[in-house]
Chain A
Amino acid sequence: MQRELIDRIRALMDEGVATRVLGWKKGEFFYDTEPAILTAEQLDQLVYDSFCGPNLSKYLIQEMPKLEGKIIALIKPCDSYSFNQLCTEHRVDREKVYVIGVGCKGKIDVDKLRARGITGITAIDEDGDTLTVHTLYGDETVNRHEVLLNKCLTCKGKEHRVFDEQIGESEDTSAGADRFDMVKKLEAMTAQERFEFWRGELSKCIRCNACRNVCPACSCVKCVFDNPNTGVQNKAAADDFEENMFHIIRAFHVAGRCTDCGECSRVCPQGIPLHLLNRKFIADIDDLYGEYQAGEEIGQRHPVINYTQEDCEPSVVRERGNQA
């Protein structure tokens, strides 16, 4: 598929559709692919394989002002939601992007291999669902599904919500999983248990801002937490409160706009399940205001900037119980 993709991009560039492509390039290892913007000359560096997890949509924002003509973007089915959302918010101009919807059958999380004690990884052979991992300390086999990125386990499906053309087959890797499982589990806990859960998680936060900076919805030109004039600027969590504040406000600011791409949790160096905050908002929105998927179409008006006269009252939070 990678060969086919490169050939097609080259053909598109020859036709003059675009001069550059946003995709992934090879890293030091077979698994550490890196988001890249490549010209026709650099096209041989392009890689598309099971390790192209990063969501590239956000990189298009910085490319927009530089563009003369179009850029080709490789967009996985899940990334297509973020792409649409950015178009809705006028951060990306649909007209300036030639979208190749690339097929995706789930991306592998190397950290999951490491968590199984498989370290010193030198190569992986993929054969259907079986992965053979070669390491400095011998070979191991694992089931592919078990080491997919968490976001792939709640895959939004194989459909690209936007594309100019599609290359490659996709597969829904969610296996029918309920993405709100953990949210429901937390909701079922007592308030004290929830408090302890989140304290445990959020106290790991080192305020590296990776979650924010990778997030396609957190695309503010200047974040309130970086801006000395907002009164809430904050560089490190000097108190537990700051951890709560940062993550609550961040989740609130992306509520209704978050496509649930899962990048925040993927990049967190401390493994904080940040997506559970965003997913709580999504669950509430679905439950209280009707099912809504951000980025499904360009031009949607999201539920947090909308209303109906019949909306529930905020007291619904208390009434749903288990809130004290």
Chain B
Amino acid sequence: MSVNTEWKPKIVAFCCNWCSYAGADLAGSSRLSYPADVKIIRIPCSCRLNPLFILRAFQRGADGVILCGCHPGDCHYSTGNYYARRRMTLLFSMLSYLGIDSRRTRVEWVSAAEGPKFAATMNDFAKTITELGENVKLGDLRCKEN
């Protein structure tokens, strides 16, 4: 696929309020940069992430979606990320089954102390998505600009 030089990936990062969002804050206060293509949405817990939101993001033009939550065992609500882990595993597997590249979806556990990990994760994910190019398989043509 030819990558348009103008093209910039759109990446949505859902971050749990207690760990990963704080991890992103720490990355910020540590001045650790990651691409501006990554936009964060704060959710209370990784278990709040409804598959509808992920599909919605792809529909609206996202090229990659990543979920960050507390490490297993560290969930603020004790069990939320365990449920999220199963749900996302199954959902990602289904997307892959439908021929959607599984590298477009990712889950990473990032604690509030892992600012460097947050930045590294986002850099790596953005790099992967840039290499994969535009998401055409799971987008909605109506939502393209023009």
Tell me if chains A and B make direct contact, with any CB pair below 8 A: yes
Evaluate whether A309 and B82 lie within 8 angstroms (CB atoms) in the complex, with A284-B89, A314-B92 already known. yes
B37 at the interface (CB under 8 A from A): no
Whether B86 contacts A245 by the Cβ 8 Å rule is no
65-89 of chain B: CB within 8 A of chain A: 72-73, 79, 82-83, 85-89
- Contact residue among B73, B79, B91, B100 (Cβ-Cβ distance under 8 Å from A252): B91
Task: Establish whether residues A244 and B102, one from each chain, have CB atoms under 8 Å apart when the complex forms.
Answer: no
Assess the A288–B89 pair: CB atoms within 8 A: yes
Is the C-beta of A285 less than 8 angstroms from some C-beta in chain B?
yes
Residue of B nearest to A241 (CB): B140
Task: Say yes or no: A193 contacts B97, CB within 8 Å.
Answer: no
Which A residues are in CB contact (< 8 Å) with B92?
A: 314, 317
The verdict on B40 contacting chain A, using a C-beta distance below 8 Å, is: no
Are A252 and B90 in touch, CB under 8 angstroms? yes
Contacts between chains A and B (CB distance < 8 A), count: 119
Q: How far is the CA of A274 from the CA of B113 in the complex (A)?
A: 45
B123 within 8 A of A: no
A: number of interface residues (CB 8 Å): 50
Q: Can you list, as one digit per residue, whether each of A17-51 has a CB less than 8 Å from chain B (1) or not (0)?
A: 00000000000000000000000000000000000
A137 at the interface (CB under 8 A from B): no
Query: What does DSSP make chain B's interface, helix, strand, loop or mixed?
Result: helix
Chain A residues, CB < 8 A from B90: 252, 255, 281, 284-285, 304
Give A242 to B88 CA distance when docked, in angstroms: 20
Confirm or deny: B94 has a beta carbon within 8 angstroms of a beta carbon on chain A: yes
Q: Separation in Å of the A135 CB from the closest CB of chain B?
A: 40
> A296-324: which have CB < 8 Å to B?
303-309, 311-318, 323-324
A194–B97 touching, CB < 8 Å: yes
Pairwise interchain contact B83-A249, C-beta atoms closer than 8 A: no
Residues from chain B with Cβ under 8 Å of A277 in the complex? 94, 97
Q: Which of A199, A255, A311 contacts B85 (CB 8 A)?
A: A311
A239 B99 Cβ-Cβ under 8 A: no
Smallest Cβ-Cβ distance to B101: which chain A residue = A324
Question: Taking A277-B94, A311-B85, A317-B92 as contacts, is the C-beta distance between A195 and B55 under 8 angstroms?
Answer: no
Question: Contacts A238-B142, A239-B142, A318-B103: A248 and B94 contacting too (C-beta < 8 A)?
Answer: yes
CB contacts (< 8 Å) of A313 on chain B: these are 85, 89, 107
Q: How far is the CA of A312 from the CA of B82 in the complex (A)?
A: 10
The CA of A306 and the CA of B85, in the complex, are separated in Å by 11
Query: Which of chain B's residues have a CB closer than 8 A to the CB of A231?
Result: 56
> A198-B99, A252-B94 given as contacts; is B59 within 8 A of A241 (CB)?
yes
Q: How far is the CA of A71 from the CA of B83 in the complex (A)?
A: 38
- Report 20 cross-chain contacts, Cβ distance below 8 Å, ordered by A residue: A191-B101, A193-B99, A196-B99, A232-B56, A239-B142, A240-B140, A241-B141, A248-B51, A280-B97, A289-B86, A304-B90, A307-B82, A307-B86, A308-B82, A311-B85, A313-B89, A316-B89, A317-B96, A318-B103, A323-B103
- Closest 7 A-B residue pairs measured CB to CB? A195-B99, A307-B82, A323-B102, A194-B99, A241-B140, A314-B107, A314-B89
